[in-house]
Amino acid sequence: MSDIIHIKAIDQIHQSLGLPPPMHPLVSLIRIDERVTGYEYGDFTYVYDFYQIALKSGIKGDITYGRNHYDYSQGSMVFTKPGQAQKYTNTESVEDETGWALLFHPDLIRRSGLANQMESYSFFSYDTHEALHVSEREKRILGELACQIEEEYNQNIDKHTQKLIVSNIELMLNYCTRFYERQFIIRQNHNLDLMEKVDAILRDYFDSEKVLESGLPTVKYLSQVMCMSSNYLSDMVKNATGRNAQQYIQDHVIERIKNALLSTNMQVSQIAYGLGFEYPQHLSKLFKAKTGMTPIQYRNSTH
DSSP line for 139-155: HHHHHHHHHHHHHHHHS
Residue 277: its pLDDT value, please?
94
The pLDDT value recorded for residue 303 is 55
The answer to whether the CB of 52 falls within 8 A of the CB of 27 is no
pLDDT over 50 (residue 261): yes
The pLDDT of 101-116, averaged and rounded, is: 93
pLDDT reported for residue 66: 46
Q: Which of 88-92, 171-175, 177-181 has the lowest mean pLDDT?
A: 88-92
Sheet holding 3-7, edge to edge: 3-7, 44-48, 85-93, 59-65, 68-71
Q: Is 1.10.3720.10 the CATH classification of the domain at 189-301?
A: no
Question: Which comes out higher in pLDDT, residue 259 or 171?
Answer: 171
- Name residue 303's amino acid: H
Average model confidence (pLDDT) for the chain?
Answer: 83
Reported confidence tier of residue 67, pLDDT bands at 50, 70, 90: very low
Q: Which residues pair with 65 in a beta bridge?
A: 68, 86
| Residue-wise pLDDT tens digits, 5-45 | 888 999 999 998 888 999 999 999 998 877 776 667 777 78
**Predicted confidence (pLDDT) at residue 242 exceeds the cutoff of 70:** yes
122-145 average pLDDT score: 80
pTM for this prediction: 0.62
pLDDT of residue 300: 87
Q: Homologous superfamily of 3-186 in CATH?
A: Regulatory protein AraC (2.60.120.280)
Q: Which residues contact 198 (CB under 8 A, 6 or more apart)?
A: 222, 226, 237, 248
**In sequence order, what are the residues at sequence separation of 6 or more whose Cβ sits closer than 8 angstroms to the Cβ of residue 226?**
194, 197, 198, 201, 233
- Cα 274 to the chain's mean position, in Å? 33
Picking from 93, 88, 58, 91, the residue whose alpha carbon sits closest to that of residue 76 is 58
* Domain residue spans of the chain: 3-186, 189-301
Of the ranges 87-91, 96-100, 156-160, 215-219, which one carries the lowest mean pLDDT score? 87-91
In whole angstroms, give the CA distance from residue 123 to residue 229: 10
Q: What is the predicted pLDDT for the residue at 238?
A: 84
What pLDDT is attached to residue 239? 75
The answer to whether residues 18 and 52 touch, using CB atoms and an 8 Å cutoff, is no
Is residue 69 pLDDT above 60, yes or no? no
